[in-house]
Amino acid sequence: MSAHTTQGGTKPISSYLYKRAKVRLIGLIGLPMFWIVGVYIFSLFLLLITAFWFVDPFTSKVIVGFTLENFISIFTVPAYISTSIRTLLIALAVTGVCVIFAVPLGIYMAKIARPWVRNTLAVAITLPLWAGYLVKIIAMRLVFTEEGFFNWALAPLGISGPTFSIPIVILTLTYLWFPYMALPVFTAIRQIPPNLFDASSDMGAKGFTTIYRIVLPLIVPAIIAGSVFTFSLSLGDYLVAKFTGGSTQMIGSIIASNINLNPPVAAAFSMVPIAFVVIYLMVARRTGSLERM
């Protein structure tokens, strides 16, 4: 074996890059930046442009031009307004239900459960992610359908089970997106030092006070992170409403029904969930709960 030489180095590419920080940086983030800007942002930008086009009423062909009609219709057509509000409320309800389930579960898993129980629950929470999205919706549909489990189980009592409606949509969406709330919340609670619970109790606080005054403020960032998923995924969903909502319409339903008939209206409507999420994040920021950490 020959001795290593210091002159020039033994690895020409590494030596070249060592002296050129900018080249290294491009090598590091070039590919992801292409993905984010070139594919992701660009396609959203095209969508935004499409929203200003319109459809020729006679030929049903898309005309490239400029009109605000599509956006105006979102705010003027009563069915569109009520659908937007309904979708917003459903998404908020899903997020709320997820938080109500995730916090006590997270406290139990992180601070009380023995390791094997904790691991079992962690698997149980992530289990729904293993199954396909459509599979889970159909599963919920089968449970609540007219010949489904609830009607069968409640029939001897003379009661009929819940029918496809907004509550079932909320339940199904919660079922779909709960892992995205439960996991960050669990992780955040796990990071709370155990002696903060002792200290709170030492100073006279009972369980509920400790959750409200210590745990919740400390996991706000995790709840916001989780709610971005539960909220935005619920806003954009339409198959759940279609299969388990009965006549329930969501923003996604309108987009889906217009996507072939009137792409510019669909494009304009696609901006509504995005606007909701942006407003939601701005509100979260304004409360200051993200900074006091």
Partner 1 sequence: MGAGFVSLRGVNKFFDDVHAVANLDLDVHAGEFFSMLGPSGSGKTTVLRLIAGFESASTGSISIESQDVTELAPFDRPVNTVFQDYALFPHMSIQENVEYGLRTRKVPRPERAKQALEAIDSVKLSHLAQRLPHQLSGGQRQRIALARALVLRPKVLLLDEPLGALDKQLREEMQVELKRIQREAGITFIFVTHDQEEAMRMSDRIAVFNAGAIEQIGTPQQVYEKPESTFVARFLGVSNVFSDQVAQEIFGSPATVNIRPERIKLVAPSTKPKADERGVVGTIIESSYIGANTIFLIQTESGQRVIATRLNEELPDQVNRFVTGDRVGAVWKSDHSAVIPT
* DSSP one-letter code for 214: I
Single-letter code of the amino acid located at 86: R
Instruction: State the minimum distance, in angstroms, from the CB of residue 96 to partner 1.
Output: 22
Instruction: State the minimum distance, in angstroms, from the CB of residue 196 to partner 1.
Output: 6
Q: Are 186 and 102 in contact, with CB atoms under 8 Å apart?
A: yes
Instruction: State the minimum distance, in angstroms, from the CB of residue 278 to partner 1.
Output: 26
Binding site residues, partner 1, CB under 8 A? 193, 195-196, 198-206, 209, 213-214, 217-218, 292-293
Picking from 264, 227, 193, the residue whose alpha carbon sits closest to that of residue 92 is: 227
Give the span between the Cα atoms of 239 and 250, in whole angstroms. 9
Picking from 238, 239, 234, the residue whose alpha carbon sits closest to that of residue 280 is: 234
* DSSP one-letter code for 58: T
Instruction: State the minimum distance, in angstroms, from the CB of residue 11 to partner 1.
Output: 43
Considering the complex, state which of residue 148 and residue 221 has its C-beta at the smaller distance from partner 1: 221
Considering the complex, state which of residue 27 and residue 207 has its C-beta at the smaller distance from partner 1: 207
Considering the complex, state which of residue 152 and residue 212 has its C-beta at the smaller distance from partner 1: 212
Instruction: State the minimum distance, in angstroms, from the CB of residue 215 to partner 1.
Output: 10
Backbone angles phi, psi at 79, to 5 degrees: -65, -35
Considering the complex, state which of residue 195 and residue 247 has its C-beta at the smaller distance from partner 1: 195
How many of the other CB atoms lie within 10 Å of CB of 85?
10
Considering the complex, state which of residue 61 and residue 206 has its C-beta at the smaller distance from partner 1: 206
Considering the complex, state which of residue 162 and residue 221 has its C-beta at the smaller distance from partner 1: 221
How many of the other CB atoms lie within 10 Å of CB of 242?
19
Instruction: State the minimum distance, in angstroms, from the CB of residue 74 to partner 1.
Output: 39
Single-letter code of the amino acid located at 239: L
Instruction: State the minimum distance, in angstroms, from the CB of residue 289 to partner 1.
Output: 9
Considering the complex, state which of residue 30 and residue 194 has its C-beta at the smaller distance from partner 1: 194
CB crowding 192-230: b at 16 or more within 10 Å, else e = beeeebeebeeeebeeeebbeebbeebbbebbbbbbbbb
Tally of residues, the chain: 293
